[in-house]
C-alpha cells in the first residue's frame, strides 16, 4: 500500500493529539483561526469567480493554487501585504477593484486579510477540511446533478411534435397542406403570396435545387411546352431519379459533418481513402436510404448485422474531424469533443458541447448529459477496414514480410561496410566542438556528470544516426572509400531499392471505427471540463430533457466486438418519440429549397437559436417524414409540389415593407449560388462537364503561388485545361490547408467546423476571380466553341444560343442588340461575351 | 443572476446578442467588399450605391473607445526565436555550460536529443535610456529599445509548431478559428476600400506550416480573411486581366456586364445584394490599379530604400516587404502580417542545429528593415498610429540540441510591441536564471491578444461573433490586459 506522506503526518499527530494540543503555540492557533476566517470570507466574497470557475486562472480554494496565483502571476507575497495583489485589489488600491460587482470589504475584513498575509498567507491549515469537503462523493455527486424541471420539458423543441390539421385559406382549398400553413400565417400578417413564377424560372430552380446543374435549352423547351397537368410532378420525379441528385445533396450533408480529404493541422496529411465516405453519402441520397438507417450506419454501422462494407465506411463519419489537440488524454478529450459536438449539432440540432465545462446556461442541458453522451463514443478507435477478403489481406502481408526478410541482411552489410569510414568522420567532427563538449566526450563514462552524459549522447546521436541534420551523409562516407568498396556499396544500395519497389501495394481500406471489446473502459464526469478534476464514472446516456423515459442501452451479446453503446444511442435518435431528429432534418430539407429554414438556426433548436416561424408546419412535416418511412425524396416531392415552392422571387413592395427578410416565405428568395454550383454550372454550360460518378478525387490547377509560398505543400494539379479535372466540384480534393480558390472565395465552409448555413458574402476578390482566373477563361472559350458548333457563325444566333445555355431564356431585344454589337467587336468577341455571361448576377443567382 | 452574467460575458455560452445586431451582422456577412468612390462613374449607375456602401463588411467602424493605433504591422518570426540569444540575456549560461538545469522539473524536448546548457554565441549590451539589454544579433533594433515594450515572460500552450502557430495567430491551438487580423478587420473594418483590409506576406523560402489557416477567417465571412500579397509584379493572384485583353477591351467588357446586370437589377430594385455585387466589380476594377501601386516601392526615395536595407544583402527581400507594409498602412490597410522564415528547419527560425548560422542569417535579414520601419514611421508621423508586433510562435530552450542548436520552448520567451499606445522602454517580466521558464509576472497569449485589441480601441470582452450558438471571442474565456506596456 502506498502511503501519502501528508496523511502519515496527520496520523502521527493524531496519535500525539494530547501532546500536540498542549505544545502548539498560542500564536499558531491564532493564525489558524485567521486562516479559517479568511477562507470563510473567500467563500462568501471570492469563490463565486475564483473557485470552481477559476476566473483569471485563479483558484482560492487551496493553498497550492492560492500560492500559484492567476494569469497575472502571484496574488500573495507572504508577509508582505503591500506587494500582494490580492490585498491591493480588495483594498481598492489597484485596478480592478475586487470583489467585482459587490460591495467593498469592510475595514475589519481588510485588516483580517492584511494580518493573514503578514502571518504568511497560508491556507494549509484549512486545506484538508476544504479538500475533504470538495472530494466527498456526496459533494461531488451533488455538483454533477442538474435536474430537469417539468417547465423545461415544455420547451417547444423538446416536446414531441403534434399534428394539427392544415389551415385552409378562406378563398380557396389548397391541395398541399404546406400552402395552407404558410398562407394562413401570411394572411394574419397582411402579406400576400407572390404569384406563380414562369416555367423557365421554375425548371431552372428545380434543376439547381435538386441537381446543382442547369437545364439544357431543350429540357427547358420541353417543359414549357408540356401542358399536361402532371408536367411539374413528372419533372420533379425525373430529377429525383437522376444520379446527380445525390451529388448535390451530399454536398449539404458534407458541410454538416465537416468533411475533408486531409487531416488539417501542422502536416495536413492526406486521407486518400476518404472519398469512400463521400460516395457513401451520394449513394444513400440516390437510393433514398431511410434517414433512420442513414443515422444508424454513421453512428454505429459496425454494431448492426449483417455487417456491410457500406456500414463500415459510414462509421467514418466519426473520424472526419481534423487532427490536432495533441496526444494523450487531453488530445483524446479534444477529438471526443469534436465528435460529440458534430453529432449533436448534426442529428439533434442542439449545442450540447456548450455543456462541456458547466451546465448549459440557457438550454436545459446538464453537464452530465455531455459526459453521458461522451461515454457513448468513449470506446471508439479508428481502424483501416480492409475492403477485400481476409485472404487477400493475409497474402499482401506475407509478401511484404518476405521482401523485408530479404532486405534486412543487405542493410546490415551496408552498415558494416560503412563503419570504419563513419568513425573517421565522427572523429573529425568532434575535434572542432567547443571545449566543454570535447571535455564531456573525453571524460570516462563513469565520471561524467548528468550534463556530460546528455551531451555525449547528443554527440553520438547527431553524428551517427541523425537523418534530419545529416551532418555526415552517405556521400561523405563513400568519398572516403576505395573504388572496389564504392562499387560494392553502390550495388547494395541498388539491391535494396529494387526490393523496396517490389513491395505489394496496400489493400483498399475504409477509414472506419471499431472498439476493443464489449466491456467499456471507464470514462468520467470532468469538472470544469478538466481531466485533472474527474468526477464520478459515467454510464452512457442521452439528452435528458428530450426524453421522458431514459432509454435502456442494449446489452451486447457475448461475442460482440464493441459495447453497443452507439447502437443504443442511434436507436434513441431514430425512436418515433424523439422530438428532435425528424424536426431537425425536415428543417434542413426545407432550408435548401426555401433558402432559409423554418428554424433559421438549423443546428441550434435551443433557446439561443431562432424560434420556428411556422411551428405547426414544422411539426406537421416532421410527423409526415417519419410516417413516410424517413424518406427524404418523399419530402422533396411534398415541398416542391406546393404552390409556395413555385412562387416568383420578384419584389412585392408592400410585402417587403412588412417582412423584408421573407420570414413568412411570401416569395421564393433570390439567392447566390454556392461555390460548387457556380463552378459546376460553368462547366455544364461550356459543355465540358465530365459527369462521371464517384471515385477518387481530382486536383484542378491552383496557382502554385497560393500554396508553394505558403506551406511547401503539394497539390498535384496539372495546368488548368486538363479535362480530367472537369468533374463536378464535389470531386475536387478538399485539402484543409490548400483550398480551391473559387470555393474559398465563394464561402465554402472552412472544412473544420460543422456548418449548418453558409455565409453568403459579396466581396471584390470574387469579382476578380470570375474576371481573370485562368480556369474561368478556359471555360469561357470552351463555351464559345460550343456556341459556334451549335449555332453557326451568325452573331444573332450565337447570342441567342449562349443566352439560352447560360440563363435558360432568350435575350430581349435590347440585350440582343447590345450583345451582337459586342460580339462583332473583335475576333475574340464571342468568347469575351460568353465570359460576360459567366459573370452576370443572373448566372450566379437562383431565382 | 450576476454569476450567469459574468460568466456569460466570458465564455459566450450565455450572452444573448441584441437581435438588431445579429440582423446587421447577417447583412454584413452577405454583402461586403467595400464600395466607396465614384471613380468608375462613367460605367456604373448610382442606384443602390448608397445602400451597398453602408453594408460593406469592410466599411470603417468606430473604435469602442479612443485609441491611438489605427493599423497593425505584425512581424512573425516563424520557427521560434531563441530568447537567450536575442532579448533575454542569461550570462549564467556560461557558468553552467554543459550542465543540466536544476529545480525546473522534467524538461521535455520535442525532438528528443537534449543536451546540457549551452551559452549564447552572442554578447549582450545595454542600450538607450532604459538600458535594456539586447544581443549583438539586433544592433539596429537595439537602438530603438526606448520605443519598444519588451515582454520577457511570454509563455504559450504548446511546444509544437502547428498548435503554437494557431494559438499565436488565432488564440486557439486548434484549427478553424479566425485569426487576429480577421478579428481586427471585423471589429474596425478598413480605411481603404480599394485594397483588402488584411494583407499577408510570406517568406521567399516558403510560408509557415498550417498554411493559409494561419491567416484564415475561420467561421467569419470571407471579407475578413488575410489576402496573400506577392511582393513583386501582380500582388494578388487573378488581379489582372489576361494579357490579350487590352484596357480598352476590359472597359467594353465591364460596360456590357454592367448594362446587363443593371437591367436585371432594375426588375428587382429593392434587392441590395444585387446592387452590392454590381459594385464589387467596380472595386475589383479599382483594385487592379490600387494594389500594384500600393506595393510599388520604385517611387520611394533612395534614402528610404537605404534606411530599410533595400538593394543590400541579406536584407533586400524582407526590407521590401516591410517597406510595402508601411505603404499599405499609409493607404489605410488595417492589418499587415509579414512572416519571416518559411518551410521547415533551416529556412525558418527553427534552429534545431547550427543556431549560429540560422539566427545569424535570420536576424541579419530582418534587423535593419525593422529598425528602418520604426525610424521611417516616426519621421512620417505614423509611429503613433501604427502598432508593431514582433514575435515567433514560441522560444527556444537554453540547453543544446544536436550539439549546436536549440529545441522548442513554450515555457518562456520574448515578444515586443512598439508604436501606437505602447509605453516604450518598458521591460515586463522575467524568465528564470536559465531563460527557460517565465517566472516573474508571466504573460500568456490571451493577454497579448487582449492587449492588441485594446491598443486598437476594441474591447476584447465585448467584441464577439456568433457561431454555432456561441458568442465567440478571440481570447475565448480568458484574457487580461498587459497594463504595464500601455502608455
Cross-strand bridge partners of residue A526: A534
Give the other-Cβ count within 10 Å of B107's Cβ.
Answer: 18
CB-CB neighbors (< 8 A) of B252 in chain A: 822, 825
Distances in Å between the Cα of A417 and the Cα atoms of A364, A481, A490, A492, A719 are: 72, 9, 11, 10, 46
Which residue of B lies nearest to A752 if distances are taken between CA atoms? B176
Per-residue pLDDT at A33: 76
Residue A458 and residue B114: Cβ atoms within 8 Å? yes
Chain B neighbours among A 769-788 (CB < 8 Å)?
769, 771-774, 777
The enclosing H or E element of B289 equals: helix B272-294
**Distance separating alpha carbons of residues B405 and B112, to the nearest angstrom:** 12
DSSP characters over A504-536: PPPPPEEEEEE-S-SSPPP-EEEGGG-TTSEEE
> What are the two backbone dihedrals, phi and then psi, of residue B215, each rounded to the nearest 5 degrees?
-120, 30
**A846 or B58, higher pLDDT:** A846
Per-residue pLDDT at B70: 97
Q: Residue A638 above 90 pLDDT?
A: yes
Give me the residue from A73, A712, A769 closest to B442, CB to CB: A73
Distances in Å between the Cα of A46 and the Cα atoms of A101, B9, B479 are: 11, 18, 19
Q: And the C-alpha cell for A60?
A: 482560492
Q: Which residues contact A213 (CB under 8 A, 6 or more apart)?
A: A207, A244, A248, A680, A681, A684, A689
Cis peptide before B203 (omega within 30 of 0): no
Per-residue pLDDT at B24: 34
Q: Residue A752 above 80 pLDDT?
A: yes
CB-CB neighbors (< 8 A) of A765 in chain B: 196, 222, 227, 236, 238, 284
Query: In this predicted structure, which of A588-597, A743-752, B124-133 has the lowest mean pLDDT?
Result: A743-752
A482-491: per-residue pLDDT in tens?
999 999 999 9
**Distance separating alpha carbons of residues A58 and A49, to the nearest angstrom:** 8
The three-class DSSP label of residue B197 is: coil
What's the mean pLDDT in A136-149?
A: 82
Per-residue pLDDT at A823: 97
**B236 or A259, higher pLDDT:** A259
What's the mean pLDDT in A666-681?
A: 96
Q: Residue A170 above 80 pLDDT?
A: no
A317-366: per-residue pLDDT in tens?
999 999 876 678 888 999 999 999 999 999 999 999 999 988 998 899 99
A81-131: per-residue pLDDT in tens?
888 989 989 988 888 889 887 788 888 888 889 888 888 888 877 765 555
> What are the two backbone dihedrals, phi and then psi, of residue B55, each rounded to the nearest 5 degrees?
-100, 5
ipTM topping 0.90: no
Distances in Å between the Cα of B271 and the Cα atoms of A37, B267, B467 are: 67, 9, 26
**Distance separating alpha carbons of residues A693 and B42, to the nearest angstrom:** 47
Q: And the C-alpha cell for A764?
A: 471584390
**A718 or B387, higher pLDDT:** B387
What's the mean pLDDT in A277-291?
A: 98
Residues in chain A: 847
The answer to whether A144 contacts chain B (CB < 8 Å) is no
Give me the residue from A268, A711, A767 closest to B281, CB to CB: A767
What's the mean pLDDT in A150-154?
A: 94
The three-class DSSP label of residue B346 is: coil
Q: And the C-alpha cell for A832?
A: 469575351
Q: Residue A144 above 70 pLDDT?
A: yes
Is A647 within 8 Å of A668 (Cβ atoms)?
yes
**Distance separating alpha carbons of residues A614 and A191, to the nearest angstrom:** 15
Angle at A685 between CA A680 and CA A691, to 5 degrees: 50
Per-residue pLDDT at A720: 65
Q: A13-17, A517-521, B21-25 — which one is most confidently predicted on average?
A: A517-521
The enclosing H or E element of B443 equals: strand B443-444
Instruction: Select from B170, B141, B147, B142 the least CA-distant residue to B157.
Output: B170
User: How many contacts does A have with B, using Cβ atoms within 8 A?
Assistant: 339
Distances in Å between the Cα of B287 and the Cα atoms of A780, B35, B234, B281 are: 23, 11, 11, 10
- What are the respective helix, strand and coil percentages of chain A, to the nearest 5? 55, 5, 40
Per-residue pLDDT at A171: 54
Residue A297's Cβ-side half-sphere holds a number of Cα atoms within 13 Å equal to 19
Cα A584 → chain centroid: 18
A199-247: per-residue pLDDT in tens?
999 999 999 999 999 999 999 999 999 999 999 999 999 999 999 999 9
The enclosing H or E element of B339 equals: strand B335-340
Q: Cell 497593425 belongs to which residue?
A: B72
Residue B202 and residue A357: Cβ atoms within 8 Å? no
Q: A88-102, A178-192, A746-760, B225-239 — which one is most confidently predicted on average?
A: A178-192
Per-residue pLDDT at A831: 97
**Distance separating alpha carbons of residues A472 and A419, to the nearest angstrom:** 12
Per-residue pLDDT at A55: 84
Per-residue pLDDT at A53: 76
Q: Cell 486579510 belongs to which residue?
A: A113
> What are the two backbone dihedrals, phi and then psi, of residue B423, each rounded to the nearest 5 degrees?
-85, 105
**Distance separating alpha carbons of residues A86 and B397, to the nearest angstrom:** 33
How far is the alpha carbon of A309 from chain B, nearest alpha carbon, in Å?
A: 31
Q: Per residue, what are the HEC states of A336-401?
A: HHHHHHHHHHHHHCCCHHHHCCCCCCCCCCCHHHHHHHHHHHCCCEEEEEECCCHHHHHHHHHHHH
CB-CB neighbors (< 8 A) of B253 in chain A: 832, 835-836
Instruction: Kindly tell me the burial class for residue A36, based on how many C-beta atoms sit within 10 Å of its own C-beta (0-12, 13-18, 19 or more).
Output: middle
Instruction: Select from A668, A669, A782 the least CA-distant residue to A723.
Output: A782
Q: And the C-alpha cell for B31?
A: 454583402
What's the mean pLDDT in A832-837?
A: 98
The three-class DSSP label of residue B395 is: strand
Per-residue pLDDT at A759: 84
Which residue of B lies nearest to A803 if distances are taken between CA atoms? B260
Cross-strand bridge partners of residue B444: B155
Which residue of A lies nearest to B258 if distances are taken between CA atoms? A840
Per-residue pLDDT at B11: 52
Is B348 within 8 Å of B393 (Cβ atoms)?
no
Q: Which residues contact A829 (CB under 8 A, 6 or more apart)?
A: A795, A822, A823
**Distance separating alpha carbons of residues B84 and B414, to the nearest angstrom:** 9
Instruction: Kindly tell me the burial class for residue B122, based on how many C-beta atoms sit within 10 Å of its own C-beta (0-12, 13-18, 19 or more).
Output: buried
Is B157 within 8 Å of B173 (Cβ atoms)?
yes
Query: In this predicted structure, which of A28-32, A794-798, B162-166, B194-198 has the lowest mean pLDDT?
Result: A28-32
Q: If you ran DSSP here, which 8-state letter would residue B360 be given?
A: H
Is A800 within 8 Å of A825 (Cβ atoms)?
no
**A265 or B287, higher pLDDT:** B287
Q: If you ran DSSP here, which 8-state letter would residue B118 be given?
A: -
Instruction: Select from A702, A704, A764 the least CA-distant residue to A734.
Output: A702
The answer to whether A535 contacts chain B (CB < 8 Å) is no
Instruction: Kindly tell me the burial class for residue A821, based on how many C-beta atoms sit within 10 Å of its own C-beta (0-12, 13-18, 19 or more).
Output: middle
Q: How far apart are the first and last CA of chain B?
A: 36
Q: Cell 416542391 belongs to which residue?
A: A640
What's the mean pLDDT in A644-655?
A: 94
The enclosing H or E element of B77 equals: strand B71-77
Angle at B204 between CA B231 and CA B85, to 5 degrees: 120
Interface test with A, best of B51, B256, B273, B485 (most A CBs within 10 A): B256
Q: And the C-alpha cell for B43?
A: 460605367
Is A88 within 8 Å of A95 (Cβ atoms)?
no
**Distance separating alpha carbons of residues A196 and A667, to the nearest angstrom:** 9
CB-CB neighbors (< 8 A) of B241 in chain A: 771-772
**Distance separating alpha carbons of residues A170 and A160, to the nearest angstrom:** 29
Q: Which residues contact A385 (CB under 8 A, 6 or more apart)?
A: A309, A312, A313, A509, A510, A511, A512, A514
Per-residue pLDDT at B12: 52
Q: And the C-alpha cell for B26?
A: 447577417
Q: Cell 440585350 belongs to which residue?
A: A815
Is A647 within 8 Å of B264 (Cβ atoms)?
no
Q: Residue A25 above 70 pLDDT?
A: no
Per-residue pLDDT at B32: 33
Per-residue pLDDT at A173: 54
Per-residue pLDDT at A326: 67
Q: Residue A395 above 90 pLDDT?
A: yes
Q: Which residues contact A344 (CB under 8 A, 6 or more apart)?
A: A350, A351, A352, A353, A373, A543
Give me the residue from B16, B111, B283 closest to A608, CB to CB: B16
Angle at A742 between CA A737 and CA A747, to 5 degrees: 80
What's the mean pLDDT in A440-458?
A: 94
**Distance separating alpha carbons of residues B419 and B76, to the nearest angstrom:** 17
Is A372 within 8 Å of A542 (Cβ atoms)?
yes
Give the other-Cβ count within 10 Å of A330's Cβ.
Answer: 12
Q: What is the pLDDT along chain B (487 residues), one digit of tens a residue?
A: 222 223 333 455 543 333 333 333 333 333 333 332 223 333 333 334 444 444 578 889 999 999 999 999 999 999 999 999 999 999 999 999 999 999 888 888 888 888 999 999 999 999 999 999 999 999 999 999 999 999 999 999 999 898 899 999 999 988 889 999 999 999 999 999 899 999 999 998 888 888 888 999 999 888 899 998 987 778 888 999 988 899 999 999 999 999 999 999 998 888 888 888 998 998 899 999 999 999 999 999 999 999 999 999 999 999 999 999 999 999 999 999 999 998 777 789 999 999 999 999 999 999 999 999 999 999 999 999 999 999 999 999 999 999 999 999 999 999 999 999 999 999 999 999 999 999 999 999 999 999 999 999 999 999 999 887 788 999 988 899 999 999 9
Q: Which residues contact A200 (CB under 8 A, 6 or more apart)?
A: A220, A224, A808, A809
Residue B242 and residue A777: Cβ atoms within 8 Å? yes
**Distance separating alpha carbons of residues B452 and B446, to the nearest angstrom:** 10
Amino acid at each position: 500500500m502506498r502511503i501519502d506522506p501528508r496523511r502519515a503526518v496527520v496520523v502521527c499527530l493524531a496519535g500525539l493529539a494530547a501532546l500536540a494540543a498542549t505544545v502548539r503555540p498560542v500564536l499558531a492557533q491564532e493564525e489558524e483561526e485567521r486562516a479559517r476566517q479568511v477562507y470563510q470570507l473567500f467563500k462568501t466574497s471570492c469563490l463565486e469567480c475564483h473557485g470552481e470557475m477559476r476566473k483569471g486562472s485563479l483558484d482560492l480554494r487551496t493553498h497550492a493554487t492560492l500560492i500559484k496565483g492567476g494569469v497575472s502571476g502571484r496574488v500573495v507575497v507572504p508577509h508582505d501585504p503591500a506587494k500582494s495583489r490580492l490585498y491591493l485589489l480588495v483594498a481598492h488600491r489597484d485596478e480592478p477593484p475586487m470583489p467585482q460587482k459587490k460591495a467593498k470589504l469592510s475595514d475589519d475584513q481588510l485588516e483580517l486579510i492584511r494580518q493573514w498575509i503578514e502571518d504568511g498567507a497560508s491556507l494549509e491549515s484549512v486545506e484538508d477540511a476544504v479538500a475533504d469537503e470538495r472530494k466527498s462523493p456526496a459533494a461531488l455527486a451533488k455538483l454533477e446533478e442538474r435536474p430537469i424541471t417539468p417547465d423545461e420539458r415544455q420547451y417547444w423543441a423538446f416536446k414531441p411534435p403534434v399534428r394539427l390539421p392544415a389551415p385552409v385559406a378562406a378563398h380557396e382549398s389548397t391541395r398541399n397542406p404546406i400552402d395552407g400553413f404558410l398562407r394562413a400565417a401570411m394572411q394574419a400578417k397582411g402579406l400576400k403570396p407572390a404569384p406563380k413564377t414562369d416555367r423557365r424560372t421554375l425548371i431552372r430552380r428545380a434543376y439547381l435545387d435538386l441537381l446543382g446543374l442547369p437545364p439544357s435549352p431543350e429540357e427547358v423547351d420541353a417543359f414549357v411546352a408540356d401542358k399536361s397537368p402532371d408536367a411539374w410532378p413528372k419533372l420533379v420525379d425525373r430529377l429525383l431519379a437522376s444520379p446527380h441528385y445525390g451529388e448535390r445533396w451530399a454536398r449539404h450533408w458534407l458541410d454538416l459533418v465537416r468533411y475533408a480529404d486531409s487531416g488539417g493541422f501542422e502536416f495536413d496529411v492526406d486521407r486518400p481513402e476518404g472519398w469512400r465516405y463521400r460516395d457513401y453519402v451520394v449513394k444513400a441520397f440516390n437510393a433514398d436510404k431511410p434517414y433512420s438507417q442513414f443515422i444508424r450506419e454513421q453512428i454505429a454501422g459496425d454494431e448492426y448485422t449483417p455487417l456491410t462494407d457500406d456500414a463500415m465506411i459510414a462509421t467514418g463519419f466519426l473520424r472526419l474531424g481534423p487532427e490536432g489537440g495533441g496526444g494523450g488524454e487531453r488530445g483524446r478529450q479534444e477529438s471526443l469533443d469534436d465528435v460529440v459536438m458534430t453529432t449533436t449539432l448534426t442529428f439533434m440540432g442542439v449545442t450540447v458541447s456548450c455543456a462541456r465545462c458547466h451546465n448549459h446556461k440557457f438550454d436545459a442541458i446538464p453537464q452530465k448529459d455531455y459526459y453521458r453522451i461522451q461515454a457513448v463514443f468513449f470506446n471508439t478507435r479508428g481502424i483501416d477496414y480492409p475492403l477485400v477478403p481476409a485472404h487477400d489481406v493475409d497474402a499482401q502481408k506475407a509478401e511484404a514480410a518476405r521482401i523485408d526478410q530479404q532486405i534486412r541482411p543487405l542493410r546490415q552489410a551496408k552498415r558494416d561496410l560503412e563503419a570504419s569510414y563513419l568513425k573517421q568522420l565522427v572523429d573529425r567532427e568532434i575535434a572542432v566542438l567547443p571545449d566543454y563538449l570535447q571535455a564531456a566526450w573525453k571524460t570516462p563514462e563513469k565520471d561524467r556528470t548528468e550534463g556530460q552524459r546528455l551531451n555525449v549522447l547528443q554527440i553520438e546521436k547527431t553524428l551517427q544516426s541523425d537523418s534530419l541534420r545529416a551532418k555526415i551523409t552517405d556521400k561523405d562516407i563513400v568519398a572516403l572509400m576505395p573504388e572496389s568498396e564504392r562499387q560494392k556499396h553502390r550495388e547494395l544500395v541498388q539491391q535494396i531499392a529494387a526490393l523496396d519497389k517490389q513491395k505489394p501495394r496496400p489493400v483498399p481500406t475504409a477509414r472506419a471505427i471499431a472498439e476493443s471489446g464489449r466491456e467499456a473502459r471507464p470514462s468520467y464526469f470532468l469538472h470544469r471540463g478538466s481531466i485533472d478534476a474527474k468526477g464520478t464514472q459515467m454510464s452512457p446516456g442521452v439528452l435528458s430533457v428530450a426524453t421522458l423515459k431514459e432509454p435502456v442501452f442494449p446489452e451486447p451479446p457475448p461475442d460482440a466486438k464493441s459495447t453497443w453503446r452507439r447502437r443504443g444511442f442511434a436507436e434513441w435518435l431514430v425512436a418515433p418519440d424523439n422530438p428532435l431528429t425528424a424536426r431537425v432534418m425536415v428543417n434542413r430539407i426545407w432550408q435548401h429549397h426555401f433558402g432559409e429554414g423554418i428554424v433559421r438556426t438549423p443546428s441550434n433548436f435551443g433557446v439561443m437559436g431562432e424560434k420556428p416561424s411556422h411551428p405547426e408546419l414544422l411539426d406537421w412535416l416532421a410527423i409526415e417524414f417519419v410516417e413516410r418511412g424517413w424518406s427524404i425524396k418523399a419530402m422533396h416531392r411534398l415541398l416542391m409540389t406546393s404552390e409556395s415552392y413555385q412562387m416568383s422571387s420578384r419584389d412585392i413592395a408592400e410585402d417587403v415593407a412588412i417582412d423584408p427578410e421573407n420570414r413568412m416565405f411570401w416569395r421564393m428568395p433570390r439567392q447566390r449560388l454556392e461555390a460548387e454550383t457556380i463552378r459546376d454550372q460553368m462547366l455544364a454550360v461550356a459543355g465540358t462537364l465530365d459527369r462521371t460518378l464517384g471515385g477518387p478525387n481530382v486536383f484542378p490547377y491552383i496557382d502554385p503561388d497560393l500554396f508553394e509560398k505558403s506551406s511547401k505543400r503539394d497539390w498535384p494539379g496539372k495546368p488548368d485545361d486538363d479535362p480530367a479535372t472537369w468533374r463536378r466540384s464535389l470531386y475536387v480534393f478538399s485539402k484543409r490547408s490548400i483550398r480551391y480558390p473559387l470555393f474559398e472565395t465563394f464561402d465554402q465552409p472552412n472544412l473544420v467546423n460543422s456548418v449548418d448555413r453558409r455565409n453568403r458574402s459579396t466581396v471584390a476578390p470574387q469579382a476578380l476571380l470570375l474576371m481573370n482566373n485562368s480556369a474561368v477563361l478556359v471555360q469561357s472559350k470552351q463555351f464559345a466553341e460550343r456556341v459556334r458548333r451549335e449555332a453557326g457563325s451568325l452573331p444573332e444566333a450565337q447570342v441567342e444560343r449562349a443566352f439560352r445555355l447560360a440563363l435558360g431564356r432568350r435575350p430581349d431585344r435590347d440585350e440582343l442588340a447590345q450583345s451582337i454589337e459586342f460580339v462583332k467587336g473583335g475576333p475574340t468577341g464571342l468568347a469575351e461575351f460568353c465570359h460576360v455571361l459567366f459573370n452576370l448576377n443572373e448566372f450566379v443567382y437562383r431565382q | 443572476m450576476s454569476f450567469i452574467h459574468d460568466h456569460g460575458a466570458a465564455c459566450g455560452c450565455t450572452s444573448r446578442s441584441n437581435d438588431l445586431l445579429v440582423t446587421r451582422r447577417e447583412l454584413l456577412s452577405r454583402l461586403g467588399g467595400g464600395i466607396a468612390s465614384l471613380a468608375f462613374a462613367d460605367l456604373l449607375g448610382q442606384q443602390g450605391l448608397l445602400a451597398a456602401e453602408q453594408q460593406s463588411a469592410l466599411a470603417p467602424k468606430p473604435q469602442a473607445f479612443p485609441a491611438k493605433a489605427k493599423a497593425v504591422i505584425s512581424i512573425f518570426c516563424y520557427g521560434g526565436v531563441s530568447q537567450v540569444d536575442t532579448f533575454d540575456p542569461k550570462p549564467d549560461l556560461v557558468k553552467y555550460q554543459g550542465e543540466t538545469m536544476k529545480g525546473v522539473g522534467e524538461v521535455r524536448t520535442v525532438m528528443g536529443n537534449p543536451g546540457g546548457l549551452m551559452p549564447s554565441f552572442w554578447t549582450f549590451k545595454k542600450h538607450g535610456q532604459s538600458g535594456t539589454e539586447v544581443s549583438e544579433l539586433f544592433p539596429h533594433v537595439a537602438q530603438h529599445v526606448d520605443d519598444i515594450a519588451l515582454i520577457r515572460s511570454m509563455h504559450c500552450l504548446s511546444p509544437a509548431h502547428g498548435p503554437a502557430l494557431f494559438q499565436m495567430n488565432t488564440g486557439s491551438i486548434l484549427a478553424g478559428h479566425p485569426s487576429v487580423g480577421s478579428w481586427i478587420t471585423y471589429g474596425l473594418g478598413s480605411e481603404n476600400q480599394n485594397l483588402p483590409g488584411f494583407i499577408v506576406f510570406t517568406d521567399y523560402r516558403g510560408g509557415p506550416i498550417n498554411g493559409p489557416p494561419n491567416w484564415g477567417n475561420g467561421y467569419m465571412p470571407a471579407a475578413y480573411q488575410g489576402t496573400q500579397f506577392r511582393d513583386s509584379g501582380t500582388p494578388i493572384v487573378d488581379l489582372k486581366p489576361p494579357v490579350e485583353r487590352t484596357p480598352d477591351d476590359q472597359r467594353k467588357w465591364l460596360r456590357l456586364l454592367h448594362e446587363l446586370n443593371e437591367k436585371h437589377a432594375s426588375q428587382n430594385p429593392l434587392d441590395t445584394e444585387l446592387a452590392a455585387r454590381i459594385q464589387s466589380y467596380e472595386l475589383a476594377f479599382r483594385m487592379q490599379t490600387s494594389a500594384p501601386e500600393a506595393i510599388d516601392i520604385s517611387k520611394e526615395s533612395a534614402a528610404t530604400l537605404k534606411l530599410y536595407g533595400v538593394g543590400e544583402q541579406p536584407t533586400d527581400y524582407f526590407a521590401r516587404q516591410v517597406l510595402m507594409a508601411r505603404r499599405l498602412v499609409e493607404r489605410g490597410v488595417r492589418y499587415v502580417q509579414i512572416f519571416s522564415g518559411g518551410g521547415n528547419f533551416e529556412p525558418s527560425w527553427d534552429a534545431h542545429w547550427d543556431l549560429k548560422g540560422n539566427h545569424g542569417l535570420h536576424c541579419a535579414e530582418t534587423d535593419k528593415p525593422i529598425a528602418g520601419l520604426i525610424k521611417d514611421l516616426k519621421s512620417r508621423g505614423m509611429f503613433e498610429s501604427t502598432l508593431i508586433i514582433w514575435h515567433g510562435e514560441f522560444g527556444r530552450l537554453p540547453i543544446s540540441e544536436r550539439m549546436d542548436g536549440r529545441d522548442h520552448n513554450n515555457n518562456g520567451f520574448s515578444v515586443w510591441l512598439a508604436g501606437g499606445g505602447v509605453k516604450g522602454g518598458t521591460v515586463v517580466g522575467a524568465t528564470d536564471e536559465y531563460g527557460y521558464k517565465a517566472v516573474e509576472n508571466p504573460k500568456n497569449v490571451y493577454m497579448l491578444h487582449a492587449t492588441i485589441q485594446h491598443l486598437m480601441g476594441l474591447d476584447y470582452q465585448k467584441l464577439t461573433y456568433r457561431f454555432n450558438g456561441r458568442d465567440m471571442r478571440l481570447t475565448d474565456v480568458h484574457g487580461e490586459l498587459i497594463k504595464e506596456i500601455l502608455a
